[in-house]
Structures are given as structure tokens and as C-alpha cells.
């Protein structure tokens, strides 16, 4: 009986909740009323008399013929624009118009406001409260007129915004210094500035039931793969969440593989990287409110490419790229190789080195794997503390903490000096990666390799590398194999993987990403330099 009573009580609560939701939806999704006073009443009830919502009701025109209501959000709308181009036009300029002229007799009052009075560029009509509240809370100004069940939306967004600055997460020695901001329209302008092509399409849609965050899908129509573009739109349309606050939400909701440490989308705050990706046939996703854009499909080789590789000469870019691959394997394997060599494979070490290592570890009470785990975890804590602490003291604390803790640990006999060297090489190598999310993935997998090395030695490391290779080959980024163009092997695309060829050698775009306009440039016929003529 108690169970049945509780069940009925739950049903009553759920029915009450549904009724409240239906009432809220009725207010939000109903049509605008013809009575201005009724519309204003619904707005005040829905927004709860919020102090930042400005509602200006007045009569305008000759004899007060027009009964109008102007509404905007204080702090999101440009007050000067609202005052000079909307309120002044409605209150003063409307009186100068001869309503009884033969031309204007064919227009109703709503069309007169739209076509002859308001000197603004971007304007649209709305007829329901759902669009009304979306535009009102996005910084636009809404104009309602008594006697009409529709309104005018004027673009008046003018909140405080951060200017274009150098990206803090991806710095370069040679290259552009501008970066994305938190404003979507500025970010799209930075891309338009680089690609002046009418085929550059920017499709924007709101995502999030409550935040209604503007998300823009950017691609070049004649270059991008239509199937990938369609798949991106399909995955975005399937998102049903109450709010999107950063592009990381989008990345996690639309990625192919969830349970993998390796990233399958590139996040960047550099417009030149996005522009280069669009020219290859990739697709960018920009989210309003964050400076980090998403670039997809993203392959394994893309996370070792930096924009500066293409601004330097090809030989310099190739050397830097090889250093990144080397640093990746150093970060991944140095601690595990040390643990395996000192625990299972001492015969592989030269005798003088083995004697030196044994002398250093003579007073250390822990096995090599425990010693390595302690130092790695300590360094990760120091790194995270340096990131989260205030900038004035963050770097000093992390550097001093690493030096003091390392020296004190060696003096106390907890760790050996060579372990400090191993952890330092590993940490420095992890900072070489041009993308932060790939560096995090390497740091996570490093601990797995240390456990394998402590259990099975070099055989465990070999099995771990084989399992990692199989896992990488099984990944997809929007249907594109993650390890391409190396697996599957595409010989024509090897010009921009480990070795970067000169720009004049890039004739075609990547095959798997782009399948439409494959030609990037025509073959350049170089003229042989002629020796200077002797005029004597």
C-alpha cells in the first residue's frame, strides 16, 4: 500500500511538473498578440521584472497615431545606437512623414516603420515569443506596435568585448599575431579577411535550449566534402542539451570515439590555422563565447604540424617536425625504458653505466617503478599548480618547487639523481607538442607504459606499442582513418607528413579529406637563371 501511495504521489508530482512546463512553453512559444499592453505584460511575467530589461512605451507620429513599444537588454545592446537610430527616428523623424500621401496610403503602419523610418541595415520580422526572447536576450532591439501581431528586430548588439590579441596557447616566432576572441562575428571576419572567396560558407545555428549559443559551421563549398559537411550538420542537429558554454561541449558531443585518450578534433585560437585547414577541405566550427575553434577531420599527423612550419623554409620546417615526433616518443617511453632497463635488462647497459646507476640507487628504498611514479606524479602536481595559481607567482612557484623538491628528494635518498634527469627530459619533451590535447594524451599513456615496463620489461613496452598502434588504426575522425595517409598508405600525401616538401611541390589536396576540387596549384615551371653577360 505504501508503495502504491508513493507511486501515485510521484505521478502527481510529475503531472504538476508537466503542467508547469506546458505553461512556460505556452508563454515562450505562443504567437505575439495584437494588443501591445498584453505583449508587455507577458514579457514582464516571463522575465520576472528583470532590472536589465528596458521597456520603453510611447506614442509617436502626428497626433500620436502610432502606439509603440521598444525593448532591449541593458548591457547587451548598444545604447547609443538604440538612442540615435531607433528611438530618435521613431519619436522625431516619424512626425515628418506625410501619412496621407498617395504613396503611403498603400502601406500600413508597420510597413512604414520598416521601409521609411528606421535607418538601420539589419532588420527582420518576428511573430512568436520564442524568437522574441531569443533576439531580446541576444542584444537585439525589438519594436512592437499596437494592433499588429508581429514585431521588428533590429541588430543592436554592442556589449563589451576583448580586442584581437596574440594567441596565448599557440605562439609563433614567425607568422600572424592575431587570434580569435570570444565574439563570433569577429572570428568569422578574421577568416573572411584571409579567404576572400564567395564559396566560403558560414552557416550559423543556435544550440542549447537555454543558452541558445550561436554555433557557426565554416567551409569552402567547392573544396569540402559534401558528405562530411552533411554529417557535421546531422551531429549538431542531434544535440539536445540545455547549454553550450565552450567549444569543448561540441567536441565531446559530436566526436566519433569517446573512450580514447587521443583527440579526434583540433582546437585552435589561430585564424591562420583554420584558414589553412579550410583550404585543404576541412571544416571549422566556431562557438560564440570562446576563442577556441574546432577543426575537423583531424588526423594523427595534424597534431604534429604547426603553422610556423609553412612560414619557414621547408628544410627548417622538416627539422622542427622531426623534433616533435622525437619528443613524442621521448615523452612516451623514456621513464618506461628506464624502469625496464634497471629492473629486468641490466645486461643491456654498459658496465660503467650500470655501476654508476647501482651506486646512485644504493640508498633508495623504493623500486624503480615506484620511484618513477612518485616523481612523475609530483611533477604533474607542480605543473597543474603553476597553471592554476595567479600568473604573478605561478611560474616562480612551479620552478622553485621543482628545484627544491628534486634536490631535497635526492639529498634525502628517496629518489636517485638519474631519476630527476629522466623526469626532466620527459617533462621538457612534453612541452614541444604544438597542441595541448595531444600532449595530455601522451602524459596519460606514459603511466600505462611504466606499469607494463615494471611488469614485463621491454616485452611489455613492445606489446603496449603494438596495442597503441592497433588502437590508432581503429580510430576515425568523421569517417576518415585517423592514421592516414600512413595507414592506409597514400604516397601522394606523404609530402606533408613527417617531411614537409616545398610549397611549389604541393599540387594536390589530401585525397581522403577532399574529393572534389583536388588541384591546389598548377605545376610551376622554373626558368633557369642565365649567367650575367660580360659587357666589357
* CA 530/CA 149 separation, integer angstroms: 78
Query: What's the confidence (pLDDT) of residue 207?
Result: 93
* CA 461/CA 334 separation, integer angstroms: 11
Evaluate whether 376 touches 423 at the Cβ level (below 8 Å): yes
Alpha helix ranges (H) inside 173-246: 184-194, 226-237
Query: What's the confidence (pLDDT) of residue 391?
Result: 65
The sheet with strand 293-296 has its strands ordered as 200-207, 213-220, 283-287, 293-296, 266-268
Evaluate whether 434 touches 384 at the Cβ level (below 8 Å): no
Give pLDDT < 50 ranges for the chain.
1-28, 102-106
Query: What's the confidence (pLDDT) of residue 110?
Result: 73
Letter string b/e over residues 65-96, b meaning 16 or more CB atoms within 10 A of that residue's CB: ebbbbbbbbeebbbeebbeebbbebbbeebee
Query: What's the confidence (pLDDT) of residue 519?
Result: 79
Placement of cell 628504498 in the chain: 365
Query: What's the confidence (pLDDT) of residue 335?
Result: 92
Q: At what angle do helices 417-430 and 351-360 cross, to 10 degrees?
A: 100
Element (H, E) at 69: strand 66-73
* CA 310/CA 520 separation, integer angstroms: 15
Among residues 327, 338, 409, the alpha carbon closest in space to that of 372 is found at 338
* CA 169/CA 296 separation, integer angstroms: 19
Count of beta carbons in the 10 Å neighbourhood of residue 326? 12
pLDDT tens-digit readout, 200-224: 999 999 999 998 999 999 999 988 9
Query: In sequence order, which residues have a C-beta less than 8 Å from that of residue 408 and are 6 or more positions away?
Result: none
Count of beta carbons in the 10 Å neighbourhood of residue 192? 15
* Residue 530, all three cell numbers: 642565365
* CA 77/CA 71 separation, integer angstroms: 10
Count of beta carbons in the 10 Å neighbourhood of residue 254? 20
Evaluate whether 507 touches 495 at the Cβ level (below 8 Å): no
Query: What's the confidence (pLDDT) of residue 318?
Result: 92
Query: What's the confidence (pLDDT) of residue 99?
Result: 55
Among residues 250, 428, 247, 412, the alpha carbon closest in space to that of 323 is found at 428
Query: In sequence order, which residues have a C-beta less than 8 Å from that of residue 417 and are 6 or more positions away?
Result: 360, 410
* Residue 336, all three cell numbers: 618506461
pLDDT tens-digit readout, 141-198: 999 988 888 889 988 888 777 888 888 888 888 888 889 999 898 999 999 999 998 9
Query: What's the confidence (pLDDT) of residue 175?
Result: 86
Among residues 53, 50, 223, 29, the alpha carbon closest in space to that of 130 is found at 29
* Residue 178, all three cell numbers: 592575431
Report the residue count for the chain.
536
Amino acid at each position: 500500500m505504501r508503495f502504491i501511495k508513493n507511486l501515485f504521489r510521484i505521478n502527481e508530482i510529475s503531472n504538476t511538473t508537466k503542467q508547469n512546463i506546458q505553461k512556460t512553453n505556452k508563454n515562450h512559444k505562443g504567437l505575439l498578440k495584437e494588443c501591445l499592453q498584453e505583449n508587455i505584460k507577458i514579457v514582464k511575467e516571463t522575465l520576472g521584472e528583470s532590472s536589465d530589461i528596458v521597456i520603453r512605451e510611447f506614442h509617436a507620429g502626428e497626433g500620436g497615431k502610432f502606439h509603440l513599444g521598444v525593448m532591449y537588454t541593458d548591457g547587451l545592446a548598444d545604447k547609443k545606437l538604440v538612442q540615435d537610430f531607433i528611438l530618435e527616428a521613431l519619436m522625431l523623424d516619424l512626425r515628418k512623414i506625410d501619412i496621407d500621401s498617395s504613396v503611403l496610403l498603400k502601406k500600413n503602419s508597420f510597413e512604414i516603420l520598416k521601409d521609411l523610418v528606421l535607418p538601420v541595415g539589419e532588420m527582420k520580422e518576428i511573430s512568436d515569443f520564442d524568437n522574441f526572447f531569443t533576439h531580446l536576450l541576444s542584444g537585439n532591439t525589438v519594436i512592437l506596435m499596437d494592433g499588429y501581431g508581429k514585431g521588428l528586430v533590429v541588430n543592436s548588439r554592442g556589449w563589451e568585448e576583448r580586442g584581437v590579441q596574440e594567441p596565448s596557447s599557440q605562439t609563433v616566432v614567425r607568422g600572424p599575431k592575431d587570434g580569435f576572441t570570444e565574439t563570433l562575428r569577429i572570428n568569422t571576419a578574421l577568416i573572411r579577411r584571409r579567404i576572400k572567396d564567395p564559396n566560403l560558407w558560414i552557416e550559423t545555428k543556435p544550440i542549447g535550449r537555454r543558452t541558445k549559443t550561436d554555433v557557426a559551421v565554416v567551409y569552402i563549398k567547392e573544396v569540402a566534402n559534401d558528405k562530411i559537411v552533411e554529417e557535421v550538420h546531422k551531429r549538431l542537429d542531434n544535440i539536445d542539451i540545455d547549454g553550450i558554454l565552450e567549444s569543448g561541449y561540441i567536441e565531446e558531443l559530436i566526436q566519433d570515439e569517446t573512450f580514447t585518450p587521443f583527440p579526434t578534433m583540433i582546437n585552435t585560437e589561430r585564424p591562420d590555422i583554420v584558414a589553412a585547414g579550410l583550404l585543404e577541405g576541412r571544416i571549422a566550427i566556431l562557438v560564440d563565447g570562446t576563442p577556441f575553434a574546432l577543426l575537423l577531420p583531424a588526423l594523427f599527423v595534424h597534431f604534429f604540424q604547426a603553422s610556423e612550419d609553412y612560414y619557414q623554409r621547408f628544410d627548417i620546417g622538416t627539422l622542427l617536425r622531426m623534433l616533435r615526433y622525437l619528443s613524442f616518443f621521448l615523452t612516451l617511453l623514456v621513464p618506461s625504458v628506464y624502469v625496464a632497463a634497471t629492473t629486468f635488462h641490466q645486461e643491456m647497459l654498459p658496465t660503467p653505466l650500470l655501476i654508476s646507476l647501482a651506486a646512485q640507487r644504493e640508498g633508495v628504498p623504493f623500486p624503480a617503478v615506484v620511484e618513477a611514479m612518485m616523481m612523475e606524479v609530483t611533477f604533474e602536481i607542480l605543473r597543474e599548480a603553476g597553471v592554476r595559481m595567479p600568473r604573478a607567482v605561478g611560474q616562480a612557484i612551479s620552478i622553485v618547487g621543482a628545484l627544491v623538491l628534486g634536490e631535497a628528494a635526492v639529498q634525502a635518498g628517496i629518489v636517485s639523481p638519474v631519476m630527476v634527469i629522466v623526469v626532466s627530459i620527459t617533462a621538457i619533451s612534453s612541452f614541444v607538442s604544438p597542441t595541448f590535447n595531444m600532449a595530455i594524451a601522451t602524459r596519460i599513456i606514459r603511466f600505462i607504459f611504466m606499469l607494463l615496463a615494471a611488469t614485463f620489461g621491454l616485452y611489455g613496452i613492445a606489446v603496449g606499442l603494438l596495442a597503441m598502434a592497433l588502437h590508432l588504426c581503429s580510430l576515425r575522425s568523421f569517417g576518415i582513418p585517423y592514421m592516414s595517409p600512413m595507414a592506409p598508405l597514400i604516397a601522394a600525401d606523404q609530402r606533408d607528413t613527417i617531411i614537409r616538401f616545398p610549397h611549389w611541390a604541393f599540387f594536390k589536396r589530401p585525397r581522403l579529406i577532399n574529393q572534389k576540387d583536388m588541384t591546389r596549384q598548377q605545376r610551376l615551371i622554373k626558368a633557369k637563371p642565365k649567367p650575367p653577360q660580360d659587357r666589357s
